[in-house]
Amino acid sequence: MEHLQYRIDLSDQEDKQKALENLDNNELILKFSIPGRPSTKKTSQRVVRRGGFTKILPSLLYEKYEKHCKEYCESVWKKEALEPLDFGVAIKIKVYLDSWIVGDECGYQQANGDIIQAHGIVKDDMWIHWADNDEHMIYYDKENPRIEIEIKRFKHPKEAYRNEKNEKEAIKEAKKKAKTKKE
């Protein structure tokens, strides 16, 4: 399994998150793989009733796969003491299946976006842009089913709005502190 690969050395960075956010578009942040047959989230969903409410749950197979992925996501991310990415990223996945029983590409993207978010690599899957580089993402490998994940920096239009909002809040907070000190 490939672990974290950076263009910059993060061991000397005081603010690793800021260093990653300052990367140029298409610069590699992380590349790793998760062994085992990938699963989609929406295939074989379960409908359960609790109290007066009906709830749709993912399949048991997906829940098992999500738990399986936790170890791999955390081993390449949390061991580096990195916070979830809270900015735009492009993710390219390659799904290697052990049979030609295939889910749809969108299903694999949604499932893996949710897994990457659930296990602390990306703060919110709204930041994800799915990249395919004009390639199919589904392949056949009977001996080694897996998913390969490549995360690159990809600036999101909402980042400018978020940054502007944070700056205004910081100025407001600074004025409030200054006013409190004068009194």
Residue 84 lies in a domain: yes
Residue 111 lies in a domain: yes
Residue 47 lies in a domain: no
Structure-token pair, residue 140: 């056949």
Q: Which amino acid appears at position 12 of this protein? A: D
Tally of domains within the chain: 1
Confidence at residue 36, expressed as pLDDT on a 0 to 100 scale: 93
Residue 61 lies in a domain: no
DSSP letter string, 44-62: T-EEEEETTEEEEE--HHH
CA atoms lying within 13 Å on the CB side of residue 100: 0
Residue 58 lies in a domain: no
Q: What is the CATH number of the domain that holds 114?
A: 3.30.1330.70
Residue 148 lies in a domain: yes
Confidence at residue 50, expressed as pLDDT on a 0 to 100 scale: 83
Could you report the per-residue pLDDT of 79-100, keeping only the tens digit for each? Answer: 777 889 999 999 999 999 999 8
Question: How confident is the prediction for the chain on average, in pLDDT?
Answer: 86
Confidence at residue 3, expressed as pLDDT on a 0 to 100 scale: 45
Instruction: Give the SS3 label for residue 146.
Output: strand
Could you report the per-residue pLDDT of 17-54, keeping only the tens digit for each? Answer: 888 888 999 999 999 999 999 988 877 778 888 888 99
Instruction: Give residue 108's domain range.
Output: 10-37+66-158
Confidence at residue 116, expressed as pLDDT on a 0 to 100 scale: 94
Entry pTM? 0.80
Residue 125 lies in a domain: yes
Residue 183 lies in a domain: no
